[in-house]
Homo-oligomer: A and B are copies of this chain.
Amino acid sequence: MGLNAVYHYALIPSGKLLRPLLLVRSALTVGGDLFRVLPAAVGIECVHVGSLMHDDIIDQDSTRRGRPAVHAMFGHEQAIVAGNALYFSWFAGLAECLRRGIPSDRIAHAMAVQADSGIEVCRGAFDELTMTGDLKRPVEDYLEMAARKTGALLEAACRVGALLGGGDDSTVDLLGAFGYHLGIAFQIRDDLLPYNTVTAEGMGKPGDSDLRNHRPTLPVLLAYQRANTADRDAICHALLDDADPQAAFGTMYALLETNGALAAARAMADQFAQRARKVLIELPPGPQIGPLSEMTHLTGIGRVTPAHADNRTPTMPTPHLPVPTAERA
């Protein structure tokens, strides 16, 4: 059983291919050639899947998309090593784009974006570990973590696509900002998944993973901030309870629903999705703008049902936002 078998198992069947789609659509937006950029799209799916494999080890999640997680299927050590190989495959994808005729200055800049973004993703994952069990963290800390952990990679997908497609600096920046805001929206939506049973089943993500790992996700942090002392104790107990995760989840869900934290988190996800759509308006019109805009809905972010869109939403302060990763080159 070699490394190739792990690659095959981990990559096929694929997930939603959000990052490859972003990369290809960004490239096409600036007039890029599909054949030439496609290996970079495969590459970004590789790094994403590699990070999921490591996440599943860290979070002790034994299933992914309704199947055994890679570490459950092949072993922990094998999943660590294969995840690492998938990180390098991200850059091997760029190398293949070079062979397919993308100019080397574009390749070199795309590599710089990927390297910075990869480090940011790790920084976000590290930040998330330091936040474990800490309900007193401000929402800004959460947003910075989400911007790194998820925003940076979606930003890189768009930037790399635009760079390889031959886009000018301002278009690369705009598409990068689109991916960045979409990424934060996507991370918030991911936090909400366990509280939305229908979607959670579709994802195959164990509903209790965040709670089991004592992660103060956005709805939990918002609920804690809004709660009175008795409810704060209850939230704290539900987050840290290892004895009965299912009961803890039930308690947490009831608390989050009744004090409006779920609605507030949905509204924040919607804010970021709107920012992403707003960036698209600044781009020249073209056939990719509609599909890109549609992606902000496909993630389920924009669809706040009337029941959730309560009167708290308009009074929410605009969160203080981290700035998108500047391309340093």
Chain A positions within 8 Å of B, measured between CB atoms, are 1-3, 6, 51, 54, 57-58, 75, 77-78, 80-85, 87-92, 94-95, 98-99, 104-105, 107-109, 111-112, 114-116, 118-119, 122-123, 125-127, 129-130, 328-329
Min distance, Cβ A90 to any Cβ of chain B, angstroms? 8
Specify which chain B residues have a CB less than 8 angstroms from the CB of A78 in the assembled complex. Answer: 126, 129
B82 touches A122 (CB 8 A): yes
Given contacts A1-B130, A2-B126, A129-B75, contact A118 B87 (CB under 8 A): yes
Residues of A contacting B: mostly = helix
CA distance in complex: A79, B247 (Å): 32
Q: Could you tell me the distance in whole angstroms from the C-beta of A50 to the nearest C-beta in chain B?
A: 8
CA distance A2 to B89 in the complex (A): 27
- The distance from the CB of A241 to the nearest CB of chain B, in whole angstroms, is 21
Establish whether residues B115 and A91, one from each chain, have CB atoms under 8 Å apart when the complex forms.
yes
Known: A115-B94, A329-B98, A329-B99. A125 touches B81 (CB 8 A): yes
Shortest distance from the beta carbon of A139 to any chain B beta carbon, whole Å: 19
List chain B residues, Cβ under 8 A from A58.
Answer: 77, 80-81
User: In the complex, which of the residues B81, B92, B94 contacts A54, with contact meaning CB atoms closer than 8 Å?
Assistant: B81
Q: By the criterion CB–CB under 8 Å, are A87 and B84 in contact?
A: yes
Cα-based distance from A231 to B325 in the complex (angstroms): 61
In the complex, the answer to whether A126 meets B81 with C-beta atoms within 8 Å is yes
A149 to chain B, nearest CB (A): 10
Query: Whole-angstrom distance between the alpha carbons of A126 and B86 in the complex?
Result: 13
Residue of B with least CB distance to A75: B129
Report the minimum CB–CB distance from A128 to chain B (whole Å): 9
Q: When chains A and B are docked, how far (Å) is the Cα of A80 from the Cα of B59?
A: 12
Closest B residue, CB atoms, query A102: B108
CB closest chain-B residue, reference A327: B95
Report the bound CA distance from A108 to B3 in whole Å: 26
A-B contact pairs, 26 of them (CB 8 A): A2-B126, A3-B123, A6-B126, A54-B81, A78-B126, A80-B80, A81-B126, A81-B129, A82-B122, A84-B84, A85-B122, A88-B115, A88-B118, A89-B115, A91-B112, A91-B114, A92-B112, A92-B116, A92-B119, A95-B108, A95-B111, A98-B108, A98-B112, A104-B105, A104-B109, A107-B111
The listed residue with most B CB atoms (<10 A of its CB), out of A57, A78, A115, A329, is A115
Residues on the B chain within 8 Å of A3, using CB: 122-123, 126
Alpha-carbon distance between A81 and B118 when the two chains are bound, in angstroms: 11
Return the contact of A116 from the options B6, B95, B112 (Cβ within 8 A): B95
